[in-house]
Homo-oligomer: A and B are copies of this chain.
């Protein structure tokens, strides 16, 4: 089933209103959810919407609160999300980092006490629309063992890096775990193996069997010990710069809340050779896509490339939706 972009925004806006998010905030939040689905990130668009409503109902998200400035330190600011809606908080902080970057070339906002930011690629887009490189990450609840361990001590701490480019942003959006639990569940439902090693089974053997890894919850960090270390430092930087909770502390709450996030913007428009920069980026992307591959049916893509095509196609033909979830929104 397909739904138009405008219909999706309209319905999200209506439902958000029922839960106390109204006016411009509702329009923005609805757009952010719809944009995720529009670009094919269904898990963080429509499919996430009911979970967001649930987090309002269970008290994790306080719809009356928004992120506010708590400390200004040169080109870095600390903001307090006050457990308001995570997507609105993240949007405001990315906006602020961009404003700082337009003034000082670089801007950093560290946000504490926020909630799940839904689809972070949206804030990467925002940076690029403002001719900024965006580097942003969040910590999460503990959901991944550190390398060598069997207990979830680390978060999967998604990281987004976005770079403006003439043909739409280069948009990297990666969690520090090789596969999310959602992806493992999907492979299990479909009865297929993971394409690469996913974690340890209950005997401590490396496994691609999604069911076996779901049983142990011993998912692999990307690059094993390397991603384990990367997850740790992302968490510590987010929590220390914001003055907020570490992944360890987040794990002590009944639900995933009071997250810490970092938003870095670097303004390319401040640079004297902006045109040469664009040429440099295009030359690399062209070279990358021209890479030899093992088969004619395989092409090398750069991060974000597919999203541009998906956005265009679904804007024209409607956005693919899960009928049950969409029906739930219509009936809310």
Binding site for B on A (CB under 8 A): 71, 73-76, 103-106, 108, 133, 145-151, 153-154, 161, 163, 170, 172, 174, 178, 196-197, 200, 204, 206, 222-224, 226-227, 229-230, 232-233, 235-237, 239-241, 243, 246-249, 266, 268, 270-273, 276-277, 280-281, 283-284, 287-288, 291-294, 298-303
Contact = CB atoms under 8 A, between A and B. Distances in A.
Contact of A227 (B170, B223, B229): B223
A297 to B, nearest CB: 10
A149 B292 contact: yes
A233 B75 contact: no
A162 to B, nearest CB: 8
A292 to B, nearest CB: 5
Contacts of A223: 174, 178, 222-223, 227
Given A105-B73, A148-B300, A248-B284, A161 B241 contact: no
How many copies of the shown chain assemble into the complex? 2
A233 B172 contact: yes
Contact of A236 (B148, B153, B236, B281): B281
B294 A204 contact: yes
A305 to B, nearest CB: 10
Given A240-B163, A276-B243, A105 B76 contact: yes
10 contacts: A76-B106, A145-B291, A146-B288, A146-B300, A163-B237, A170-B232, A222-B222, A232-B284, A233-B303, A246-B284
Contacts of A237: 133, 161, 163, 266
Contact of A151 (B73, B236, B292, B299): B292
Contact of A230 (B76, B172, B276): B172
Nearest to A78: B271
Nearest to A197: B197
A127 to B, nearest CB: 12
B224 A196 contact: yes
Given A266-B108, A271-B73, A284-B235, A291 B150 contact: yes
A153 B291 contact: yes
